[in-house]
Structure 1
Amino acid sequence: MPNSTTVSQFLLTGFSEVWEVRVLYTMLFSLMYLATLTGNLLIVTVIIVDQRLHTPMYFFILNLSVLDMCYISVTVPKACVIFMLNNRVISVVGCAAQVFLVLLCASAEFLLLTIMARDRYVAICQPLHYHVIMTPRVCVQMTLGSVLSGLVYSSLHTGNTFRLSFCHSNVVHQFFCDIPSLLKLSCSDILANEIVIFVSTMIVGGGCFSFITMSYVHIFSTVLKFPTRGERRKAFSTCIPHILIFIVFLGSAAAVYLKPTSNSPQVQDMVISVFYSIVPPFLNPVIYTLRNKQIKEAIRRVMSRTLTSFRKTLIISAHSYLDFRS
């Protein structure tokens, strides 16, 4: 950190100072966190165990679930500590780490959702070439590319933010360290930062949005030509949830990052930030399990095998015990 940085720690902010309200928020965030971890871990386990799900589509869903678990783990545990214990302190290094990890997970997830749109486009519009285009090597390369791009993006913005001097205040009006909230505390000139944020967000977010829009225009035009209603319904059921998640994710992030810092209401930003930091990881496992027939069938098969193995273990243990007693 530069020597001109006079702030040695930051104070994060909760939604309320009332004890009962803080307990309510702690319970709500904790339940969402546990549900997110459980749902995503279940998806990861089922996809790894079930050989029938070893396809490009489910490979990307697996990586999305891993990203979601990392993404929500960066912000929610600390937020629950703030709400429950009113322990609002976070070091400058910890704040920088939180900014870096949030941007890394968010940008990598944006790119991964874009790759998933490409996967659906090839599967529906070019089904005969699907296994030639979406080879395992290409899938791994695209996934690694999204993570490495996220590393570059998050490193750029984290370094650009923490080169500033923070001397106006150390109270971050957010439940996690976020760049727009930190820029309000800086006593340096932040115009260059705001320009870089705006341009990079437009390039990454706008590029992903344009690519996904074009992909789904081609997908829907192809789906509408399907001869039977069942085929059209199946195609739409795999595409529409993906679109909804991306719109919520991109719209809420753009609402915070594309506004001028000085015109950004604190409470509104805290509420909107929930929609891009907590809601997508929470909804992804719900969408990809409740609306996906293959994953639901795979869960049943895995549960059935697990119960069968458990029964066999109990029977063997009982027989061993009886033999020992006799």
Structure 2
Amino acid sequence: IISYRVKNIHIYYFDIIFNLTSLGREQKKHLNLLHSVVDEMIQQRIDESNNNVNTTENEKNRPYRTFFDIQMDACRKQNIMQQEIHDNVMTMLLTASDSISVTMNFAIFMLANFPNIQEKVYQELLEIYGTETTKSAPIKYDDLQHMHYLDRVIKETMRLFPPAPLIIRRVTKDLEIGEAVVPKGADIIIGIIKMQRDEKYWSNPLMFDPDRFLPERIKDCQLSYFPFSDGLRNCIGMKYAIICLKVLLATLVRTFIFNVDKSIEIHQIKLEIDLLLSTKKPLKVKIEKRCFQ
């Protein structure tokens, strides 16, 4: 619905008009459902806290505190309002899930399309787990800190295929760009995918090269890499998404081998630029179970 509205902004720009349409009413129905689910989650957590007098002590004894726990603690200290928790949880549920599914799609195809890179990922995982299965040696949080090459593969995937290829921002003060001045209050669209594929900032930009994210190489390109946006308005679900991607990809690579019938070049992948990135045609991958000696 949002995508359709953006593409027909000359008709649906004003909320007062959009809300009178069938799409506007449908969007309101979906949003009401989402808001009610999030409110129920928050209220359940509050009730649990109120029913347990030792909540604070119990939270201290947990090995890890969840994002939700930290927010609830801040709310009790009156550092943030409950509405802010609601908004943050909504953002986590929606944006992190989207970025994970889109990036998983492209990452698995990149591994299949470049078997030498897939093998390097597997060799790194062998160093961590040996030939133990995911059942006998499940992935732990601390393991993620040793998946350096997998981390670079994910970053290179998101450079070429950012899940949100465009972002919209409102200018808070007059902004000079060359000889032009963008006035305060203007809405602007930033083409993340264009910047992350620009040869002005990246050498051989359409080559899939995870090692471009080695510390000594990425330092000159950091300002042109922001698949989760940047600054005060960057994605609140960024770290959560990366953790999920590492766990999912590491689990899959330890269990399966991915192949394609025929390797294709990056520039041959035709993309659909929308609120979320997708391909004009499906990316097909063959999956084969790994055999352990």
TM-score in terms of structure 2 length: 0.29
Q: Which has the higher helix share?
A: 1
Question: Relative contact order: is structure 1 or structure 2 higher (C-alpha 8 Å, sep ≥ 6)?
Answer: 1
> Over alpha carbons, which structure has the higher Rg?
1
Question: Whose strand proportion is higher, 1 or 2?
Answer: 2
